[in-house]
Structure 1
Amino acid sequence: MIAELDRVGAEIRCCLDRPAWALSDNELVDAVDAVHALQQRLAALHLRLVREVGGRAVARTHGATSTTVWLRNRHRLSTPAARRLVTLATTLDTAPPAVADALARGLLTTDQARTILDVLTALPNHLGAEAIDKAVQLLIDWAAQFEPAILRTLGNRILDHVAPDLADEADRAALHTAETRAHDRRHLTLSTQPTGQVTLTGLLDAETAAVLHAALDPLTTPTGPGDSRSPGQRRADALGDICRLALHTGTLPDNGGDRPQVVVTTSFDTLAGQLGTGTLDTGLRLTPEAVRRLACDATILPAVLGGTSQVLDVGRQRRLFTGPLRRALVLRDGGCAFPGCDRPPRWCDGHHIRHWADGGTTDLANAVLLCDHHHRLIHHDSDWTVHLGPDGHPEFTPPAWLDPTRLPRRNHYHHRA
């Protein structure tokens, strides 16, 4: 297979050397169609290989928490793109063979294949094999004419074409299923952009959406004739107000051993009104004005930093990684310190670099923040080692079978002060 892929790659390189301007209009259209069909065939092969990677647990062998994370790190994909790839590969593996075959022949795009699989999953369990085969073929035929959104709309009424006697009953069941699915699919994602802004995306079920609207609406009313904020800006401000109100109640559960709090790293000069910036524990930077504004309504927790941004002292240390010591770990590591892991501090525990049972001390010089998966990996896989680099930040040395040079690696997903 590798030799065949190399041959295909060489042929594509030859095509890249040919000038597109030399093609006639008809040849140009034919070339675009041919490339599109080839992309779908390659996608079908890619999905089959990704499914095999997942089945063999290659990701965990390489130290990743999942196939999604492994793909993200190895091929520099976004997390959503890697997740969609793994989900489609898994679903396609158990789907009717006609769907995978149509994708391999270039008759479907991956988005169309995903839509067809969603439609087939929603069909009644007692639908006969003949009706399912008819539905599959009809959806593939429609895919030759319609893009995914229209294909999904048509697919929602597929029973009218393949099993009319079941359509009404299935429609009622589908409404119930849609309600349950909306609850199961609820999620909220906060994605930090290079600018420091955060993009909110997600899905809410109807009940939660009603609660959110009820909480937001009273806070989104314009404050007066001089309020020039757009409706979207007013909603953003209202969400921040609601979160501040929740933090002030003191009733939120502890987070990593501490009550929920906003942690800002700054200098005395900044607080005193001079130039300088602050850094949140999420890695985002704040203006001096924002730091002083937060300080007006916060308990100040001193953190003394050395010249290389090493945390030198955050108060009296304890036996466990809690309180000031945990805050120091979060401040230094920003989340799981294992290379390629993006899990945030609240998902992580402190790990003794030299184990407690072996006489290791509970202090910052012997600590690293690790998520549950990588905590187990370091404890049970002696091929991976961790130490603090010259600047006091964690470095991980991979096993020789993974990297013969055993070059130390660092996590670059989290902010480093």
Structure 2
Amino acid sequence: MVEELAQADAAVAACLDASAWSLAEHELVAALDATHRLTQRLAALELALVREVDGRGMARAHGASSTTVWLRERLRLTVPTARRLVDLAAALDNGHNGGVRQALADGNITAEQARVITDTVTTVHDTAGTAAADKAVGVLVEWAGQFDPTLLRRLSTRILDHVAPDVAEAAAKAALDADARRADRDRHLTVSEQTDGRLRLAGTLDAETAGLLRAAIDPLSGPTDPDDSRTPGQRRHDALADVCRLALRTGDLPANGGEPAQIVVTTGYDALSQQLGAGTLDTGLSLTPQTVRRLACDAAILPAVLGGNGQPLDVGRQRRLITGPLRRALVLRDRGCAFPGCDRPPRWCDAHHIRHWADGGDTTLTNAVLLCGHHHRHVHKGEWTVRLGSDNRPMFVPPAWLDPDQIPRRNHYHRRN
């Protein structure tokens, strides 16, 4: 298979080197159709490979918490995209979706259409049995030749009228239940850091959460006075910030990473007092000097002495548990789970002794590393070795079966420079 794919890659490269401008109109359309068909067939192959990776449990063996996370790191995908790959690969592996898998492999439907069809066929199979599901595949694949995924999903809600009219009414309720389960499955919120330190929010809220959000921010989203020049989007942004402030002030939020819910800002004392220097959140985002000063008005200021390379040098007295000043120093250094490829933030992490406490390891910054729950358990299996590099930042040596050369690896998700 690898050799065949290499030949296909070479063929595609040759097409890329050809000049599209020289094609006649009918040749241009034919080339576009062929490219689109090939894209779908490759998608079918990719899904088959993803299913095999997932079935073998390769992700956990390689240190990832799931196949989704492994795909994100391996293929540089977003988590939602990787999750959709895993889910669709699993759905196509079901016997009643064999016709859908074949239609995608033949290039007759797209991956998005396949996702709509598998969702619908699964509902039909559970409601009306295998025979009706097989009929539904045929009807929906035929419709896919005429309708895009959005229209196809809308039409699929009445598929039982065509393949099993005797149970259509009862199945309508099942379809509603399936929609509710799908909404529950697809709910997500993505927080993406932009290059200038701002965050972009994107996601899909279920109906209940959407109602909660609107109930919380709508009263705060109106103009504050006749001269309020903020746009509606800016007012909603400020309302969300107000809701977060109100939640933090209650003191009822659960602890994260051994610390109370809080905003942690790092800045120099001279810069703070002279209103000159910017600050850095524990998530790596930067704040203006004015924002740092405003936050400092209602904050506890905790000193930490840093070296020239930003390494914490003096963070308080030694103790058995990695908490308080020592944990804050660890957050300053690691900025999140230090395991290679992990993007978990500090508040989701445990402080791990590199040399275990039970083995005589000290509770010091040079014997500690931040690890999320999954990678904390993974490292405790003993196959990976953790040590600090010459710059006092964590390095992870993989087991020989994963990398015979055992080249040390680092996490690059939390780098700030």
1:370 shift after superposition: 0.8
Q: Cα 1:210–1:72, aligned 2, differ >3 Å: closer, same or farther?
A: closer
Residues 74, 124 of structure 1: alpha-carbon distance in 2 compared, 3 angstrom cutoff: closer
Q: Deviations over 1:276-334 (max 9, x none)?
A: 21100000011111111110111112122111111122223321112222222122111
The number of aligned residues is 416
Mean CA deviation greater in 363-372 or 162-171: 162-171
In the alignment, structure 1 residue 54 sits paired with structure 2 residue 54 = yes
How far residue 14 of structure 1 moved from its aligned partner, in angstroms, is: 2.3
Distance 1:209 1:345 in 2: 28
Gaps of 5+ in 2: none
Kindly state the Cα deviation for residue 149 of structure 1 after the two structures are TM-superposed: 0.3
| Structure-2 separation of matches of 1:176 and 1:404 | 50
Task: Work out whether residues 125 and 133 of structure 2, in 8 Å CA contact, stay in contact via their aligned partners in 1.
Answer: no
The equivalent residue for 1:70 is 70
2:266 counterpart of 1:265:
yes
Q: Which amino acid aligns with 1:85?
A: L
3-state SS of paired residue (2:124): coil
Cross-structure match for 1:203: 204
Answer yes or no: is the 8 Å Cα contact 1:189–1:201 preserved in 2.
yes
Identify the residue that residue 284 of structure 1 maps to in structure 2: 285
Contact 1:40–1:108 under 8 Å retained in 2: yes
Residues 202, 12 of structure 1: alpha-carbon distance in 2 compared, 3 angstrom cutoff: closer
Offset, 1:401 = 3.5
**Aligned match of 2:4:** 4
Task: Specify the code of the residue in structure 2 equivalent to 1:282.
Answer: T
3-state SS of 1:395 partner:
strand
Give 5+ residue unaligned stretches, structure 1.
none
Preserved CA contact (<8 Å) 1:187 1:204? yes
Contact map agreement 2:264 2:282 (CA 8 A) in 1: yes
Measure, in 2, the Cα distance between the counterparts of 1:38 and 1:210: 43
Identity %, equivalent residues: 64
Q: Who is 1:132 aligned against?
A: 133
Indicate the SS of the match to 1:222.
coil
CA RMSD of aligned residues (A): 1.8
In the other structure, the counterpart of 1:234 is 235
Partner of 1:245: 246
Asked if 2 retains the 8 angstrom alpha-carbon contact of 1:333 and 1:416, the reply is no
8 Å contact from structure 2 (residues 340, 396) kept in 1: yes
For the residues of structure 1 that align with 2:397 and 2:173, how far apart are their CA atoms?
A: 57
Q: TM-score of the superposition, structure 2-length normalised?
A: 0.95
Q: Quick check: 161-170 or 367-376, which moved more?
A: 161-170
Find the counterpart in structure 1 of residue 109 from structure 2: 108
| Range with greater deviation from structure 2 (313-322 or 242-251) | 313-322
Cα contact 1:388–1:394 (8 A) shared by 2: yes
What whole-Å deviation, never above 9, does each CA across 1:141-188 have from its counterpart, x for those lacking one? 000111100000011111121122322222234334434554554433
* Shift in Å, 1:101: 0.4
Q: Which amino acid aligns with 2:60?
A: R
Secondary structure, in 3 states, of the residue corresponding to 1:38?
helix
Q: Counterpart in 1 of 2:163?
A: 162
Distance in structure 1 (CA, Å) of the matches to 2:184 and 2:97: 27
1:313 correspondence with 2:293: no
TM-score in terms of structure 1 length: 0.95
Q: Is the 8 A contact 2:132 2:163 kept in 1?
A: yes
> Alignment partner of 1:121: what SS?
helix
Sort the Cα spacing of 1:411 and 1:233 in 2 relative to 1 into closer, same or farther, 3 A. same
Deviates more, 1:366-375 or 1:407-416: 407-416
Query: CA separation of 1:198/1:148 partners in 2, compared to 1, >3 Å: closer, same or farther?
Result: same
Distance 1:213 1:366 in 2: 46
- More divergent stretch after superposition (76-85 vs 102-111): 76-85
Which amino acid in the other structure matches residue 8 of structure 1?
Answer: A
Matching residue of 2:81: 81
AA aligned to 2:215 is A
CA distance in 2, matches of 1:175, 1:28: 44
